[in-house]
Amino acid sequence: MSGCAGGNRILREDVEATIFHYRHYVLSPYAKFVNSKITGSYNCSDKPDFGDIDLIIQLDCDRDKNVCKQDFAKFLSLYPDDIIVPFKSEKYKGKKYLNTGELVSVLYHIPIKGEEYVQIDNIIATSKPELEFKDKFLSIPAEKQGLMLGLVKCAALENPRFVEWYTLGKTDNQELEFNLSSSGISLRLVTLTPDYKTIDKKEVWKSCWWKLVEDLLQDYDFTQSFEDILLQINQNVKYARSLNRIKGIFNSMVSIKSGEVGTEKGFQKERALKLISKL
């Protein structure tokens, strides 16, 4: 069994047909459904099979995003058990969905596969720019995502010119930092202790324009291998504090889950963690 839902692994050649079926029979009847797009490892690897399907769902949301996400989850749970299948994992057995963070996870049958089911992680977006931003970010391998998060976090420290335009109310014990996630890129005003521990942070602005991420990372070529990007980091990063931040963020994001132990994905993560420790 795979994932929180306890589904089967799905072959690459079955992913498109399954999502076509899911979009037609499950998503299209939902009044606020706008669009969807397969993302994640399906786009950034040549793996022959997957433990789940990452699907970005654009909803027409005129309220708080969490409320819209909860309404969507309830709508999914109303489908009969032969369409939205109760979870089969021991931990969540019998649940019709799991609503966590940006995701609403469900278990759905794989067409023409009989008693085989796949976990679909519905990643909620509330606009076309957010959908496109999420797809750009999530279609990058997890190890490269970890490096990207750290480099964006220390971009203002390394290159103050990125934030020269912001002067409003900033004091000596404050600094600006960018923050990247699948939901967008933001700029924060951070208040620090003398030894650089965070006391407070305030979001100055947020955007779903991917070009901003590309501008911040213009000195790095993410089409290269993980090892090559590490070489670029060693060549470009000026401050030890930046390196420590990159390593800390990477270690907090990239972890080997129980289901990945002994798998190729787990070995890749273990190798990446060893390499990052040598920065």
What is the predicted pLDDT for the residue at 113? 81
Is residue 147 domain-shared with residue 246, that is, in the same domain? yes
Burial track 151-172 (b if 16+ CB lie within 10 A, e otherwise): bbbbbbbbeeebbeeeeeeeee
Max CA-CA distance within the chain? 64
Counted domains in the chain: 2
User: What is the value of pTM for the model shown?
Assistant: 0.88
Let me know if residue 202 belongs to a domain.
yes
Given 132, 156, 177, the domain boundary residue is: 132
Given 132, 158, 173, the domain boundary residue is: 132
Angle at 45 between CA 43 and CA 46, to 5 degrees: 110
Is residue 21 domain-shared with residue 121, that is, in the same domain? yes
Is residue 144 domain-shared with residue 272, that is, in the same domain? yes
Let me know if residue 1 belongs to a domain.
no
What is the predicted pLDDT for the residue at 146? 93
Let me know if residue 111 belongs to a domain.
yes
Q: What are the CA-CA distances from residue 235 to residues 177, 222, 230, 243, 246 (Å)?
A: 21, 15, 9, 11, 14
Is residue 174 domain-shared with residue 47, that is, in the same domain? no
What is the rounded distance in angstroms from the CA atom of residue 168 to the CA atom of residue 215?
A: 23
Is residue 112 domain-shared with residue 171, that is, in the same domain? no
Terminal C-alpha separation, the chain: 37
Let me know if residue 5 belongs to a domain.
no
Is residue 76 domain-shared with residue 144, that is, in the same domain? no
Is residue 171 domain-shared with residue 103, that is, in the same domain? no
CATH assignment at residue 60: 3.30.460.10
By CB atoms closer than 10 A (0-12, 13-18, 19+), residue 194 is: exposed
What is the predicted pLDDT for the residue at 63? 86
What is the predicted pLDDT for the residue at 194? 87
Is residue 253 domain-shared with residue 214, that is, in the same domain? yes
CB atoms within 10 A of CB 91: 9
Is residue 100 domain-shared with residue 29, that is, in the same domain? yes
Is residue 151 domain-shared with residue 78, that is, in the same domain? no
Let me know if residue 2 belongs to a domain.
no
Given 106, 132, 158, the domain boundary residue is: 132
Is residue 146 domain-shared with residue 128, that is, in the same domain? no
Is residue 153 domain-shared with residue 84, that is, in the same domain? no
Domain range enclosing 149 = 140-276
pLDDT in tens, the chain (279 residues): 568 899 999 999 999 999 999 999 999 999 999 999 999 999 988 889 999 999 999 999 988 999 999 999 999 999 999 999 999 999 999 999 999 989 999 999 999 888 899 999 999 999 999 999 999 999 999 899 999 999 999 999 999 889 887 776 677 888 999 999 998 999 999 998 988 888 999 999 999 999 999 999 999 999 999 999 999 999 999 999 999 999 999 988 877 776 677 777 778 888 888 888 888
Let me know if residue 80 belongs to a domain.
yes
